[in-house]
């Protein structure tokens, strides 16, 4: 591949040091990349990038790190890991984007594109909020972001609706009363993450990758399992928490919340600090292990993904375990396994679930939307086929619904860039919604608050721009299970969604 107008290389010593750091951060041997272009072909944000993933890999391979770090591509990357999951050489391309972004921020060698300013403002506001409270206070996050970007009118009407529906409580958002008690531990984690040392990733080698699903968790009626609601379920995705708790009540599953849990760092941590992205969720792992939990339900796909990948890193790294022990006083054992709602239902079993269905979801044509982080990275999540997952459809079928066959079930919706890259999110969700609609779906089923926010909250703006699809309600899988098992739709807060969702359930 030819490099168009390459800037001069950094001085040799700096260049070698940076390239070594990126290799250790990712585990990649960049000489293995043969520029097949598969990463760019599947990249949902590739059309917005100056240097799409294929070119970024070539720039690193050839030593043009300054041009790679100045690329606006780093600020459009959504971290969906499509590129990594499809690389025939087993290269971690998504981690390369993260490593370059982190290095660009540290060195000041960054893009001048407005996208960089918006995305950096969001990540800075997010992480400052976590450092202060331990858990995300969403209203104060948004206010900080708007002050940094001067985007005061963006989503004003949505914010008013969330306050009216009780999704955001201004008093608790500013008081910080819902934060972590052990804030000193959170501060130690941030201090550790700021040190120059970094956790080395095991070297990756080209290999044939095939999907091999892990055994489902053993979940039975009457069982008590751990619960990690995550920050969104305490705020803007409150209806998800309500429906998960009601679903578990109806299935006779008891939830025990991890004591004093903290934010996992979400997109902002893994996009800007490799160490912080491990240390924040590692504290939750240690707390769950100390509480003797075998399974922990993490309804948010992003939270579960961060916890699963961190658990894997903890098991493999004594250094990381020691750092967590020095911060918390607890050495994580990796005993607790974090699972999602669909995994919980798979472990519970179709037969047992079918016994509890009282009001089948008849005449409901539903598009089961997995998004990206439920099934990627494949070796860590090991939940369902990363290209054609079907386990959510199995649940919908058991509930009496009609899951449609469609092509965009794993395409990224824009994930955590919903504030900083609104136009891109609307473009991505339009492609998803249009494909679902033409294949007969009348509504979506999701298992992630980020997916729900992008498909639900952003839908009005997206439909105004494109004007070619009808309104499509977006249901959490837990809402549908609870309703099918006898709960009233209003009881599980279905009426709190942006796209009206009660009529479709009430009229079935």
Q: Judge contact between 41 and 77, C-beta under 8 A.
A: no
Q: Name every residue whose Cβ is closer than 8 Å to that of residue 296 and which is 6 or more positions away in sequence.
A: 225, 226, 227, 228, 258, 288, 307, 336, 337, 338, 339
- In DSSP terms, 196 is beta-bridged to none
Average pLDDT of span 456-480: 97
Distances from the Cα of 380 to the Cαs of 202, 323, 412, 428, in angstroms?
14, 22, 19, 26
Tens-place pLDDT, residues 54-76: 999 999 999 999 999 999 999 99
Q: In which band, very low, low, confident or very high, does the pLDDT at 6 lie, cut at 50, 70 and 90?
A: very low
**Cα gap 161→171, rounded to integer Å:** 16
Residue 398 pLDDT exceeds 80:
yes
Mean pLDDT of 91-112: 94
Q: Which residue, 351, 441, 366, is CA-closest to 398?
A: 351
Q: What is the pLDDT of residue 18?
A: 83
Give residue-wise pLDDT tens across range 271-284.
Answer: 999 999 999 999 99
Residues of the chain above pLDDT 90, percent: 82
Q: pLDDT tier at 13 (50, 70, 90 boundaries)?
A: low
C-alpha distances out from residue 209 to 90, 201, 346, 363, Å: 8, 19, 24, 39
Mean pLDDT of the region 217-226: 97
Q: Quick one: pLDDT at residue 1? A: 30
Question: Quick one: DSSP state of residue 204?
Answer: P
Judge whether residue 175 has pLDDT over 80.
Answer: no
Which range has the worst mean pLDDT, 154-158, 268-272, 384-388?
154-158
Instruction: List the domain boundaries for the chain.
Output: 12-107, 357-506
Q: Give 298-348 pLDDT, tens digit per residue.
A: 999 999 999 999 999 999 999 999 999 999 999 999 999 999 999 999 999
317: its two tokens: 């790294």
b/e 38-77 (16+ beta carbons within 10 angstroms → b): bbbebbbbbebbebbbbbbbbbbbebbbbbbbbbbbbbbb
User: Burial level of 360, CB count in 10 A (0-12/13-18/19+)?
Assistant: middle
pLDDT of residue 161: 86
CATH 3.40.50.11810 for domain 357-506, yes or no, is: yes
Compute the mean pLDDT over every residue in the chain, rounded to the nearest whole number.
92
Least confidently predicted of 176-190, 255-269, 432-446:
176-190
Residue 508: band (very low, low, confident or very high) from pLDDT cuts 50, 70, 90: confident
Please report the pLDDT score of residue 399 as a whole number. Answer: 98
- Cβ atoms 86, 92 nearer than 8 A: no
CATH match for 12-107 among 1.10.1060.10, 3.40.190.10, 3.30.70.20, 2.60.40.10: 1.10.1060.10
pLDDT at 307: 97
pLDDT tens for 334-390 read: 999 999 999 999 999 999 999 999 999 999 999 999 999 999 988 889 889 999 999
42-51, 107-116, 161-170, 463-472 — which is least confidently predicted?
A: 161-170
């Amino acid at each position: 591949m030819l490099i168009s107008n390459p800037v001069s290389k950094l001085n040799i010593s700096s260049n070698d040091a940076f390239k070594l750091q990126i290799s250790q951060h990712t585990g990649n041997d960049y000489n293995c990349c043969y520029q097949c272009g598969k990463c760019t072909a599947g990249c949902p944000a590739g059309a917005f990038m100056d240097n799409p993933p294929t070119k970024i890999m070539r720039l690193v391979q050839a030593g043009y790190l300054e041009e790679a770090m100045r690329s606006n591509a780093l600020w459009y990357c959504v971290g969906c890991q499509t590129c990594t999951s499809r690389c025939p050489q087993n290269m971690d391309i998504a981690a390369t984007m993260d490593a370059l972004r982190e290095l660009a921020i540290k060195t000041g060698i960054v893009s001048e594109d407005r996208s960089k300013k918006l995305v950096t403002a969001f990540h800075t506001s997010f992480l400052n909020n976590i450092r202060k409270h331990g858990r995300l206070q969403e209203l104060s996050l948004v206010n900080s972001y708007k002050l940094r970007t001067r985007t005061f009118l963006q989503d004003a009407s949505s914010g008013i609706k969330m306050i009216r529906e009780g999704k955001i409580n201004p008093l608790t958002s500013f008081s910080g009363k819902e934060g972590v008690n052990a804030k000193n531990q959170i501060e130690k984690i941030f201090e550790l993450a700021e040190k120059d040392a970094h956790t080395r990733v095991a070297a990756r080698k080209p290999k044939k990758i095939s999907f091999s699903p892990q055994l489902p968790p053993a979940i039975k009626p009457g069982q008590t399992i751990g619960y990690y609601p995550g920050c969104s379920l305490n705020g803007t995705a409150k209806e998800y928490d309500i429906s998960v708790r009601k679903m578990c009540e109806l299935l006779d599953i008891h939830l025990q919340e991890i004591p004093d849990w903290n934010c996992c760092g979400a997109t902002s941590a893994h996009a800007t600090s490799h160490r912080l992205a491990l240390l924040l969720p590692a504290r939750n792992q240690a707390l769950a292990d100390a509480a003797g939990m075998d399974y922990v339900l993490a309804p948010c796909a992003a939270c579960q993904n961060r916890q699963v990948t961190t658990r894997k890193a903890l098991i493999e790294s004594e250094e990381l375990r020691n750092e967590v022990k020095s911060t918390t006083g607890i050495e994580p054992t990796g005993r607790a396994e974090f699972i999602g709602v669909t995994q919980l239902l798979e472990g519970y079993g179709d037969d047992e679930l079918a016994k509890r269905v009282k009001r089948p979801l008849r005449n409901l044509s539903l598009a089961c939307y997995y998004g990206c982080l439920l099934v990627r990275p494949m070796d860590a999540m090991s939940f369902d086929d990363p290209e054609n997952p079907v386990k959510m459809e199995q649940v919908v079928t058991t509930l009496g619904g009609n899951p449609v066959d469609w092509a965009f079930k794993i395409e990224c919706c824009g994930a955590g860039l919903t504030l900083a890259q609104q136009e891109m999110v609307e473009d991505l969700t339009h492609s998803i919604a249009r494909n679902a609609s033409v294949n007969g779906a009348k509504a979506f089923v999701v298992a992630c608050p980020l997916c729900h926010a992008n498909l639900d909250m952003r839908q009005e703006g997206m439909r105004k721009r494109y004007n070619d699809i009808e309104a499509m309600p977006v249901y959490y899988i837990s809402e549908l299970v609870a309703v099918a098992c006898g709960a009233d739709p209003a009881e599980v807060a279905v009426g709190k969604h942006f796209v009206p969702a009660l009529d479709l359930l009430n009229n079935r």
